[in-house]
Amino acid sequence: MTRADLEIPPRPLAQRLGAILWPSFFAAGVAAMVFFAIVDPLMLRDVTFPDLEMSRMAGYTIGFFLFWAATAASSLFTWLLLRPASRFNRRMPS
């Protein structure tokens, strides 16, 4: 059995995206719940952008998507670091 026989075939794009986006969605939901249990979005707006008109619901939505972007980036970097080295260290054909 050669090393090429042991190589894992690439997974479909939907499966790869799901492995990154679903855990980050769940983590962002938990992070948003914990964060907004302590911080009121309107008070945060008053401290950061006092001239911006924004509803409380818009603050929750923006906060959730910011948490989702941060946790998705974390999941993406983990996925990149865990890819097998054989994908990058292929020998050039002679």
Indicate whether 52 pLDDT > 60: yes
Spatial distance between the Cα atoms of 44 and 17, rounded to a whole number of angstroms: 32
**pLDDT value, residue 89:** 63
Average pLDDT, the chain: 86
pTM for the full model?
0.76
Residue ranges of the domains in the chain? 40-82
- Predicted confidence band of residue 1 (pLDDT cuts 50, 70, 90): low
pLDDT tens digits, one per residue of 8-24 = 677 788 888 898 999 99
Q: How far is CA 45 from CA 38, 51, 60, 61, 87, in A?
A: 14, 9, 11, 13, 46
What pLDDT is attached to residue 10?
A: 73
Alpha helices of the chain — where are they, by DSSP H? Answer: 13-38, 41-48, 56-82
Contacts of 21 (CB under 8 A, 6+ apart): 72, 75
